[in-house]
Amino acid sequence: PKKVVVLTNEGAEALLAVGVTPVGTTKPRAGDEWYPHLAKDLKDTKVVGTERDINLEAVMKLKPDLIIGNKMRHEKIYEQLNEIAPTVYAETLRGDWKENFTLYTKAVNKEKEGQKALEDYKKRIEGMKEKLGDKLNSKVSIIRFVPGDVRIYQKNSFSGAVLNDIGFKRPPLQDKDEFAIKGITKEQIPNMDGDYIFYFTSDKDADKNNEGTTLAKEWTEDPLFKQLQASKDNKVFQVDEVIWNTAGGIKAANLMLDDIEKYFLK
């Protein structure tokens, strides 16, 4: 296929990793720019809506030979897309990004290049494991602050899958093949503890005073939070939500490994 439209960010990252620039893809949210780590690669790519709200007319205008979407996001518009061009869907958007990556690279006939990119990632992880040594026994806790909600992330999430690849341990509540525990209350702060806590914030209603950020400040300054071992050890770090959670592709996974090196090996 010469002209590919891809409807998720992780899909765009997969194609770029094997040298295919999509003619069209989605923006994270309406009005947003491209994610910073992809802005240069996508400068000539047209916007076809957001992941949750595809602009079918914009897709049609690009006359693609192939459309790559995601069942979890785009199930309802499959027929309409398939009338525009042959359409391939991945099943889900959570957890291990490598499965979808393989599907996307096959769809654009770049299976070999895709395998190589995955092998490079695996080699990089092997190298990190050797350097990390005993630090792999650390329990790593992942928290997200979104407007109006606090969540503890588990293994079937993007960051969970990357931590799993490296071989880190997780605190008991997080050591499950689930996505996340939502609706956490302050009484549950002790459940957030780990040897390391990484948290990210979502400010998607930025006009509401950057709510995720405000919430994070309020919680991390709470006396209960200050009692956590990770807090006493100064092992609580804020990381970029795009890289650790929302972007979801191979490029983000490698950037997350950069962060892990920074916090564990520097």
pLDDT of residue 126: 98
pLDDT of residue 207: 55
Nearest Cα to 17, choosing from 158, 116, 95?
116
Burial class (CB in 10 A: 0-12, 13-18, 19+), 75: exposed
Long-range contacts of 30-38 (CB under 8 A, 24+ apart): 35/9, 35/242, 35/247, 36/242, 37/242, 37/243, 37/247, 37/251, 37/252, 37/255, 38/9, 38/12, 38/13, 38/247, 38/251
For residue 249, the Cα-to-chain-centroid distance in whole angstroms is: 6
* Helix, strand, or coil (residue 183): coil
User: Under a CB-based contact definition with an 8 Å cutoff, are residues 67 and 84 in contact?
Assistant: yes
Q: How many helices (H) and strands (E) does the chain have?
A: 12, 11
In CATH, the number for domain 123-265 is 3.40.50.1980
Average pLDDT, the chain: 95
Report the largest interatomic distance among the alpha carbons of the chain, rounded to a whole angstrom.
58
User: Under a CB-based contact definition with an 8 Å cutoff, are residues 248 and 10 in contact?
Assistant: yes
Q: Which amino acid is at 141?
A: S
Nearest Cα to 50, choosing from 262, 199, 201, 204?
204
pLDDT of residue 92: 87
| CATH 3.40.50.1980 domain range(s) in the chain | 4-109, 123-265
Q: Cα separation of 66 and 82, whole Å? A: 9
Half-sphere exposure of 169 (CA within 13 A, CB side): 13
pLDDT of residue 93: 83
Spell out, as residue ranges, where the chain has pLDDT lower than 70: 205-209
pLDDT of residue 217: 96
Q: Give residue-wise pLDDT tens across range 22-36.
A: 999 999 887 778 999
pLDDT of residue 175: 98
Q: Which amino acid is at 48?
A: V
Nearest Cα to 85, choosing from 18, 5, 16?
5
Burial class (CB in 10 A: 0-12, 13-18, 19+), 183: exposed
Q: Give residue-wise pLDDT tens across range 102-125.
A: 999 999 999 999 999 999 999 999
Q: Is 4-109 in CATH node 3.40.50.1980?
A: yes
Tokens 């939502």 correspond to what residue?
A: 182
